[in-house]
Every structure is written in structure tokens, then in C-alpha cells.
Amino acid sequence: MYEANSKRKLVVDSVFIENEISKDYSNHIFQRLTAVRKRFDRVDFRYAVFDGGYLRDCHFDSCDFTGAKFISSNFHGTKFCGCRFEYAVFERTNIGIEILDTESPRYENLKMRFARTLRLNYQQLGDVKGVNKAMELELEAWCIHLRKALTSDEEYYRKKYHGYLWFKTLIEYMYFIFGNFVWGNGESAKKLLRAVFLILIGMSFYDVFMFEDPSLLESYKKGIGRAAAAFMGIPIDAAYPKPYLAGVTFVRLVAVGFLLSIIIKKYNRR
């Protein structure tokens, strides 16, 4: 059973000429709405659509944007304080990245969706700084959400995540933690270099205990040199087993692939 008429109200080419307090604009479709240096206090914008709006240097305090949609709008200089953005969607909208710090939803699964829609929005605008900040928030919220799904006593998580779904979430969490450590889940070249360095350290210890005297400092210097050469595919005099060299080659190719992925992703945001 559904109602054919959603009772949406279409507002076209309108201008807010005064401050708005405790008004109800839910289910409104604002096309080419304009407002400059106006205040909106406790205004209900639930499920509203802002299409082609221009709201510059405005201030929204304790407003409800649940389920709202922002399309090709400009909120340059506009501030938000204590507003709700659960299930809101942003497309090609100029909005400050401060919204990620101040207006993120409380629950991690909603925070993750909020950060994701803003990340895609900033990608459409070519805002690299906004994309990076939104990605950081999205990954952080996803990590906390997975951890709570496994360990939290909150009713929501215990009702939803049990049995097979709990085990599946455990696998996702382990994969997330591993990916974050190795290369920041595709976002950190520094973490990738750190992982490569740790691999070289492990290879050098293998070299020392297989071919050198572990009690001599000189052995470790030789070991790190041969490990670096083996990792780079440079021929060396050590008689490494073929399976070992095959494993090193595989790790090298994966590391190069990860590095290229990070570089391409960074440049694609510009």
C-alpha cells in the first residue's frame, strides 16, 4: 500500500529575505534557491531537495537534513552547527570540508555513508583535499563499525551480527586491519614503504642465519645488502632456494602494483 502523491512542494527561483526559525520545509523541492548571509535555526529540511541552489555565508543551526539531497548547489562560506545529515546525498555541491568534522552522524555506519557521499561529491568537483579528508573519515568509521559489530554489547549490533554474519564480519575486520597496516587500504604510500622495509629486515635475518655468522655485526650489514638486491631482482652470489626467490618476486610485484595504485588514485583526484 502506498500513496501516489508524496505531497512534495515545488519552490522555484525563490529567495530567503529574512532569517528562518523553527520552520517546516520538509519534502520541499527547491530549484535555484537563493539565500545570502541568512540564519536558519531549528528548520526542518527532511527529505528536501536543493537543486541548483546558491546559499552563501549562511548559518544553519540545529537543522534537520535527514534524507535531503543536494544537487549542483553552492554553499560557499556557509556554516553548519548541530545539524542532522543522516542519509543525505551530495552531488556536485560546493560545501566546506569542515562539515566532515562537525556534522558527521553519531553512528558509525551512518557516518561511513555520510563520508562516502561527500567523498564522491568532492571527486566530482576535483577537490583533492576534500576527497582525502572524507576518505580518512570513511575508513575510520568503517573500522569502528566492524569492531563494534564483533565486540559491542549494543542491542543493534547483537541483534544483527551473529552466527555466519559475525564470522563474515570477523574476516572483513581482519582483512581491513591487514590492508591498513600494509598500505593504508590504498591511501598511504608511507605505510607501504614501511611494510617493504619490514620485509627487507626479515629477509636480512633469513640471510644471516642461513649464510653468515649471527654473532657478527658485519653479517647483518651483508644480509641487508643482499636482501635489498634480492628484492630488487639483482643477481647475487647467495644460493637462495628457488621457492624463496619466487616468493620474493611475487611480493615485489604486489608492492609495485600497490604503489602504482596509490599514485594513480592520487592523480585521478586532481
Transcribe 232-256 into DSSP letters: HT---SS---HHHHHHHHHHHHHHH
- Rounded to 5°, the CA angle 230-231-232 comes to 90
Beta-bridge partner residues of 90: 70
In contact, 51 and 71? CB cutoff 8 Å: yes
Which segments of the chain are extended strands (E)? 9-12, 20-21, 28-31, 34-36, 39-41, 49-51, 54-56, 59-61, 69-71, 79-81, 89-91
Lookup: cell for 215: 654473532
Per-residue pLDDT at 269: 59
- Separation CA 79–CA 96 (nearest Å): 8
**Best CA proximity match to 79, nearest among 57, 63, 100:** 57
Per-residue pLDDT at 22: 94
Lookup: cell for 83: 545539524
**β-sheet with 20-21: strand ranges across:** 20-21, 39-41, 59-61, 79-81
- Separation CA 158–CA 184 (nearest Å): 29
Instruction: Specify the pTM.
Output: 0.78
**Best CA proximity match to 108, nearest among 144, 162, 72:** 144
Total residues found in the chain within this entry: 270
Could you list the pLDDT tens digit for every one of the 270 residues in the chain? 556 566 789 999 999 999 999 999 999 999 999 999 999 999 999 999 999 999 999 999 999 999 999 999 999 999 999 999 999 999 999 999 999 999 999 888 899 999 999 999 999 998 888 998 999 999 999 999 999 889 888 888 888 888 888 999 999 999 999 998 998 888 888 999 999 999 999 999 988 888 888 878 888 888 888 888 888 888 776 678 888 889 999 999 999 999 998 888 776 655
Per-residue pLDDT at 162: 84
Lookup: cell for 269: 583526484
